[in-house]
């Protein structure tokens, strides 16, 4: 496959000020000046969550969809319809519970054990084949929980994204230049983001997605980038692909929180439970140790966590307490939660 680069020079100026100081006073790190104009219309976005047919992915998807339904129609929400993009190639036992669009996985062996590599290919297929009513799309993941009604944080040609502290294009400029040549501009044009969470206009994503797929595959096949980027390789690929198309993102720190490092839920819209939470009985966070109290989604690779998880000890940050409360509410209301059903694709 060949990449087709398109350079677009943005005419806007970015707001000034030191990035660190902005974090203390304003959840918007970088925003085009003309994007600060107030919106006059309600702009719905389609929630698109890619996933697998594994028990691990499915129980997270059920919780995610539960909270989507709880927040979708509340005041302030601009959440439209929902699609789980299932990249297994076959229907599974959640088809009747969660609106699902089945797409093909990459050819056998192409992902080389890195299943996330299927995500950009899944989005390419979905965008090409599905009927999507909304003009905007939120790319989300199974381990996201909506804590508040989510408005459309994007502004026309400027998607909204969450800045990840560990995505550092400048640090890896030598590697990045293999995929983002000098004639495309400085490496600082690449945002410190992944593809999720991102709210973006559908037509922009249709342009970016094939490049995102191709850059992901090229990075995976490059030993240096594969080694350095590891499990976040596909995130770097999306950031690079966006920059290749001249797309800059509005960076929103309030888009998402990640316990246990973010201690307060505050005004964040999405809770991302990717990190393990280990605490002793004094409520102290343990690093690299198994705690007296713990929650780690990776403990439940083969089936769902039990209903009514024990609450953390006193003194544990509010974000972790909120996480367990949200999971417990969902599992307490979802039917057949404890059933370990095998995936049975429809014979048709």
- pLDDT tens-place values along the chain, 348 residues long: 333 323 333 323 333 333 333 333 345 656 665 555 555 678 999 999 999 999 999 999 999 999 999 999 999 999 999 999 999 999 999 999 999 999 999 999 999 989 999 999 999 999 999 999 999 999 999 999 999 999 999 998 899 999 999 999 999 999 999 999 999 999 999 999 999 999 999 999 999 999 999 999 999 999 999 999 999 999 999 999 999 999 999 999 999 999 999 999 999 999 999 999 999 999 999 988 999 999 999 999 999 999 999 999 999 999 999 999 999 999 999 999 987 543 333 333
Distance, CA of 1 to CA of 84 (rounded, Å) = 27
Segments of the chain assigned E as strands: 28-30, 45-51, 79-86, 100-102, 136-140, 144-146, 160-161, 198-201, 250-252, 256-257, 270-272, 277-279, 293-295
Spatial contact of 140 and 196, defined as CB atoms under 8 Å apart: yes
Give the per-residue pLDDT at 38.
59
User: Angle CA(170)–CA(171)–CA(173) in degrees, nearest 5?
Assistant: 60
Nearest to 148 by CA among 322, 336, 316: 322
SS3 at position 294: strand
Give the per-residue pLDDT at 3.
34
Distance, CA of 247 to CA of 191 (rounded, Å) = 9
Spatial contact of 294 and 309, defined as CB atoms under 8 Å apart: no
Give the per-residue pLDDT at 9.
30
Q: Which residues pair with 325 in a beta bridge?
A: none
Longest dimension (CA), the chain: 59
337 CB burial (10 A radius; 0-12, 13-18, 19+): middle
Residues 6+ away with beta carbon under 8 Å from 162: 193, 197, 198, 251, 252, 253, 255, 256
Structure tokens, 70: 């709880």
């Amino acid at each position: 496959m060949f990449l087709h680069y398109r350079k677009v020079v943005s005419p806007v100026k970015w707001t000034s000020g030191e990035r660190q100081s902005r974090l203390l006073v304003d959840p918007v790190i970088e925003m085009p000046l003309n994007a600060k104009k107030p919106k006059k219309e309600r702009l719905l976005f389609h929630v698109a969550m890619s996933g697998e047919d594994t028990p691990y992915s499915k129980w997270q998807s059920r919780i995610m969809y539960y909270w989507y339904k709880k927040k979708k129609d509340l005041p302030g929400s601009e959440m439209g319809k929902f699609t789980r993009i299932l990249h297994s190639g076959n229907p599974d036992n959640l088809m009747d519970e969660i609106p699902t669009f089945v797409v093909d996985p990459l050819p056998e062996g192409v992902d080389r054990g890195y299943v996330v590599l299927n995500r950009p290919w899944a989005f390419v297929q979905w965008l090409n084949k599905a009927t999507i009513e909304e003009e905007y799309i939120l790319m989300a993941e199974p381990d996201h929980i909506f804590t508040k009604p989510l408005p459309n944080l994007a502004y026309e040609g400027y998607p909204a994204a969450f800045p990840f502290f560990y995505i550092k294009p400048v640090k890896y400029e030598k590697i990045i230049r293999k995929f983002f040549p000098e004639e495309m501009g400085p490496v600082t044009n690449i945002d410190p983001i992944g593809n999720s969470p991102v709210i973006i206009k559908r037509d922009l994503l249709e342009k970016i997605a094939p490049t995102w797929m191709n850059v992901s595959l090229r990075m995976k096949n490059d030993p240096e980038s594969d080694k350095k980027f590891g499990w976040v390789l596909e995130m770097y690929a999306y950031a690079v692909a966006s920059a290749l198309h001249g797309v800059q993102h509005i960076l929103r720190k309030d888009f998402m929180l990640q316990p246990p490092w973010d201690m307060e839920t505050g005004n964040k819209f999405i809770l991302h439970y990717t990190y393990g939470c280990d605490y002793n009985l004094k409520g102290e966070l343990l690093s690299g140790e198994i705690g007296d109290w713990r929650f780690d989604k990776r403990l439940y690779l083969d089936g769902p966590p039990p209903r009514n998880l024990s609450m953390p000890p006193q003194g544990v940050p509010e974000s972790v307490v909120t996480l367990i409360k949200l999971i417990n509410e969902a599992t307490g209301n979802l039917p057949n939660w404890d059933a370990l059903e095998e995936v049975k694709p429809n014979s048709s």
